[in-house]
Amino acid sequence: MPLDAPASGPSLALGITEPNPSLVAAPGARGVPPEWLRWRDELARIRPSVYRLVVVWSLVQPRLDAPADLARIDLGCMREVQPCSAYEGVRDQLRALASRQREGEGWEGMVVITGTPEWAAAPPNGCRRGVRFAAVRAGALPAYRQLIADVLALARQEGADLRFFSPWNEPNHAYFLSPQRARCDAAAPSRAVAFYGALAHTMRDELDVQPGDQRLVLGETAGLLEPSPRATSVEEMIRGLPKDLLCSAPVWSQHAYIGGTDPVATVTAALAARRCPRPHAIWITETGVGPAPEGFSVARGITSERQGCGLLHERLLQWYENPRVTLAVQYTFREDNLFPTGLVTTDLTRSRAALGEWQAWGARPSPAAPPPDPACEGSDPG
């Protein structure tokens, strides 16, 4: 059943975001440190249908006068935390993905771009408190388009199939795209909608001229359901995008961490109000359990790994029962120590309780048979 259309009945595919190729590559790949092999095999037991690859533009192209370096060396630590397994940036990520795709099951590639380089940033105006990445100025859109072309060319060279592309990570959050509004007032019109729309139009234009079957995925929105001075609500974003653009994409992707309100009903209603000729599939492209920092997630109230794993099970069942939701993507496999929602600890010494739940869903004998109970036993409770 295709993931980019609503399902005919209950179903839910799984996906993973994990940057380090040593945890992604198929058995037999060279250069995987011995202490990483166990966790590579544990990740594979999730049986991801989609591999979500985040390309950080500011890292691969920090200067305008040089092309994007998609083989930029990454030391492979988690920030400064060991163990480390160095790799050649996007090139090695694509090689690892290709090795899984050659096995013939799952692992469809999805690319998400984020991180505005300083030279590509729009002028600093509007409400800019808490900014890391500015909006992309209009004059930098050709370079953004070239980045998309470069990633696709490298994927073909490495034998990886990249089917889905999303223009920007969390375009409704000031940390990733700023300013969100002209003034720090929740009632002020969102500027993020137009900034994001320009990126999405540019990506769609490039995908249309590229060989192969690449599909635009819109959204990647943070689960912010109410307007605020520094954020655009999901409903505002959907309502504000040009209808031809919104309706041209088969999927709306949404972030929804466990402990926060499920945004699916809001997304469904906002999409329905736009009356596109075909209904969108809804993908949950970031979810996970853990004490996410307050500035980045509305998820609250998780007091233990076991409790969080049980809540994850309940939410996965809700998404499974909803034909519009066809995919849920865990963020991440190895835990980011500053965003602790992973499935194994940052130091790779033990698993989190939620790993067993994801693996139980991956082991289903049929899409119509979800695990009946939370599968938290057998994982280290921490």
Contacting residues for 80 by C-beta, under 8 A, at least 6 apart: none
pLDDT digits (tens, 9 = 90+) for 174-190: 999 999 999 999 999 99
Task: With respect to residue 253, please indicate whether it lies within any of the assigned structural domains.
Answer: yes
Task: With respect to residue 195, please indicate whether it lies within any of the assigned structural domains.
Answer: yes
Task: Look at residue 173 and give its three-state secondary structure.
Answer: strand
Share of the chain above pLDDT 90, in %: 85
Contacting residues for 18 by C-beta, under 8 A, at least 6 apart: 24, 43, 51, 332, 333, 334
Share of the chain above pLDDT 70, in %: 94
Domain count, the chain: 1
What value does the mean pLDDT take over residues 298-306?
Answer: 76
How would residue 8 be classed by pLDDT, with cut points 50, 70 and 90?
very high
How would residue 381 be classed by pLDDT, with cut points 50, 70 and 90?
very low
Domain residue limits at 192? 13-362
Task: With respect to residue 102, please indicate whether it lies within any of the assigned structural domains.
Answer: yes
pTM: 0.96
What integer pLDDT is reported at residue 329 of this predicted model?
98
What value does the mean pLDDT take over residues 96-108?
Answer: 95
Strand spans (E) along the chain: 13-17, 50-56, 73-74, 87-88, 108-114, 162-166, 215-221, 251-255, 281-287, 325-331
Model confidence at 169: pLDDT above 90: yes
How would residue 105 be classed by pLDDT, with cut points 50, 70 and 90?
confident
What integer pLDDT is reported at residue 247 of this predicted model?
98
Q: Return the higher-pLDDT residue of 369 and 301.
A: 369
In angstroms, the CA 141 to CA 139 distance is: 6
pLDDT digits (tens, 9 = 90+) for 341-360: 999 999 999 999 999 999 99
How would residue 81 be classed by pLDDT, with cut points 50, 70 and 90?
very high
Task: With respect to residue 104, please indicate whether it lies within any of the assigned structural domains.
Answer: yes
Distances in whole angstroms, Cα of residue 88 to Cα of each of 19, 69, 76, 362: 11, 10, 9, 29
**What is the four-CA torsion angle of 41, 3, 283, 91, rounded to 10 degrees?**
50
In angstroms, the CA 39 to CA 70 distance is: 25
How would residue 328 be classed by pLDDT, with cut points 50, 70 and 90?
very high
Task: With respect to residue 316, please indicate whether it lies within any of the assigned structural domains.
Answer: yes
Task: With respect to residue 327, please indicate whether it lies within any of the assigned structural domains.
Answer: yes
Q: What is the mean pLDDT of the chain?
A: 93
Task: With respect to residue 118, please indicate whether it lies within any of the assigned structural domains.
Answer: yes
Model confidence at 235: pLDDT above 80: yes
Question: Out of 25-34, 128-137, 153-162, 244-253, which region has the weakest mean confidence (pLDDT)?
Answer: 128-137
What value does the mean pLDDT take over residues 32-56?
Answer: 96
Question: Out of 140-149, 266-275, 308-317, 369-378, which region has the weakest mean confidence (pLDDT)?
Answer: 369-378
Task: With respect to residue 239, please indicate whether it lies within any of the assigned structural domains.
Answer: yes
pLDDT digits (tens, 9 = 90+) for 308-326: 999 999 999 999 999 999 9
What value does the mean pLDDT take over residues 143-160?
Answer: 98
CATH number at 84 reads 3.20.20.80
